[in-house]
Amino acid sequence: MTLADPQPQALQFECETGNYHTFCPISCVAWLYQKIEDSFFLVIGTKTCGYFLQNAMGVMIFAEPRYAMAELEEGDISAQLNDYEELRRLCEQVKRDRNPSVIVFIGTCTTEIIKMDLEGLAPKLESEIGIPIVVARANGLDYAFTQGEDTVLAAMAQRCPTKAPTADTEKEERNAIQKLMNFGRKQEEIKQQESEYVDHAPLVMFGSVPDPIVTQLTLELKKQGVKVSGWLPSKRYTELPAIEEGYYVSGVNPFLSRTATTLMRRRKAKLIGSPFPIGPDGTRAWVEKICSVFNIEPKGLEEREAKIWESVEDYLKLVRGKSVFFMGDNLLEISLARFLIRCGMTCEEIGIPYMDKRYQAAELDFLVKTCHEMGVSVPKIVEKPDNYNQLQRIHEMKPDLVITGMAHANPLEARGISTKWSVEFTFAQIHGFSNTRDILELVTRPMRRNSALESMGWEKLVEEAKV
């Protein structure tokens, strides 16, 4: 009689308050207007929304970002003014001053409360001014921090063309960067480059990430013979990828469940459910899953992952055996927790504002597998956590690091608990093999800071100051 292997511990899910305690989702404008270079974002809300955008996004008064606030006044809210006429005036001004390829209406809490029919107004406005208008509801009543991007991409997914350009059209419309890359190269070399890919169904990636990340992830797949047909969003609205029935799509961020649903239901695309390419373990699993769908045997991934882990050993020594607690803010919590557990940390609780178990199914399975392999307990996942209860649990658990929204960072630091802002992971480059050091740099910074202060005898100085 032999002993069976212990079964992996099951995940525990809880839902506490039903409220979101996160950054406002209209902040997605901060990175989307920079990503989509020919766009203009019009946020329709109150002065509070304007103050938030000005302060949270740190825009200088001399800068001219491609977004603006359409501030609702008392007459708008009480339905005494004509919304259509005012929006048309603003759109005509935007067209005259900027002439973008697309205008994105960002709905806020106020537009939801007063039932402003932006979807009804947009088609007529679009036909009058001659510029596509995309409507996205990024209100904090229904969505958490990073889900603002999800609503925008879901709306744009429905605008993707259904027919890929022909070879002649593609040749005519090839942009300057592609011409520069092929300048001086022989046709044989270009054909040889195309032959590096395996013949498979078109694959479109979705998720707004910086251009260096787009290049890195595209090249990682190219090494395995997988060709990425396009990205949603693209650098320009006019270059949105074609998506037809039978195309494959894969998300690079865990908060894009609405976009994934839209691509499957509206565009009849096939979603590749995989862990997300965050950390070397996640990136390897992501590439392997995509390769398996196209019946490709991945090569060199084990060596690549091992080399990355070796290169960050100096950071791993700082985190091994330490504990981390996620209060929940940006929906990256599951992926980050899985990565940090692989790094040697322990995690008792993962707070998350919203949990789509279908879209994150592969990531959740990977989390359980990672915990089992590392010999640690599986974290409890708390959806829409109650911050008061969380603070009590933090006080009892005494974790070495709490990853939290900005609202709770200073109070926790005052109680002697090291914190890291979750919003920093949102804006940092954390995807792919090459950015593993950047994630660990963020995670270990408070630990390194505290060590430096202790070596300076900082606690003694503080006690003397109190006296």
pLDDT digits (tens, 9 = 90+) for 46-89: 888 888 887 766 654 445 677 778 877 665 555 555 678 888 88
- Joined together, the tokens standing for residue 465 give 């100051």
Cis preceding linkage at 233, omega within 30: yes
Tell me, rounded to whole angstroms, the distance of Cα 57 from its chain centroid.
Answer: 17
Q: At residue 297, does pLDDT exceed 80?
A: yes
Is the pLDDT reported for residue 326 higher than 60? Answer: yes
CA dist 91 and 42 (Å) reads 9
Which residues of 253-322 form beta strands (DSSP E)?
270-271
Q: Which residues contact 44 (CB under 8 A, 6 or more apart)?
A: 70, 72, 87, 105, 106, 107, 108, 110, 111, 116, 118
How many Å apart are CA 62 and CA 82, to the nearest integer? 32
Lowest mean pLDDT among 75-84, 151-160, 246-255, 450-459: 75-84
| CA–CA separation, 175 and 328 (whole Å) | 41
Give dist(CA 229, CA 249) in Å, integer: 10
- Res 171 pLDDT > 60: no
pLDDT tens, residue by residue, 258-283: 999 999 999 999 999 999 999 999 99
The pLDDT, as a whole number, for residue 177 is 44
Instruction: State whether residue 359 is helix, strand or coil.
Output: coil
- Across-strand partners of 127? none
Determine what percent of the chain is predicted with pLDDT higher than 70.
84
| Strands 228-232, 203-206: pairing kind | parallel
Work out the percent of the chain whose per-residue pLDDT is above 90: 37
Tokens of 87: 């929006």
The token pair that represents 404 in the structure block: 């939290």
Domains of the chain by start residue, with CATH: 25-143 (3.40.50.1980), 306-458 (3.40.50.1980)
Q: Which of 14-28, 114-128, 310-324 has the lowest mean pLDDT?
A: 14-28
pLDDT tens by residue, 304-320: 999 999 999 988 998 88
Q: Evaluate whether 145 touches 330 at the Cβ level (below 8 Å).
A: yes
For residue 217, pLDDT over 90 is answered with: yes
pLDDT band of residue 459 (cuts 50, 70, 90) is low
Q: What is the pLDDT of residues 333-382, one digit of tens each?
A: 999 999 999 999 999 999 998 888 999 999 999 999 999 998 999 999 99
The DSSP-derived string for 308-349 is HHHHTHHHHHHHTT-EEEE--SSS-HHHHHHHHHHTT-EEEE
Mean pLDDT across 399-403 = 91
pLDDT for position 446: 84
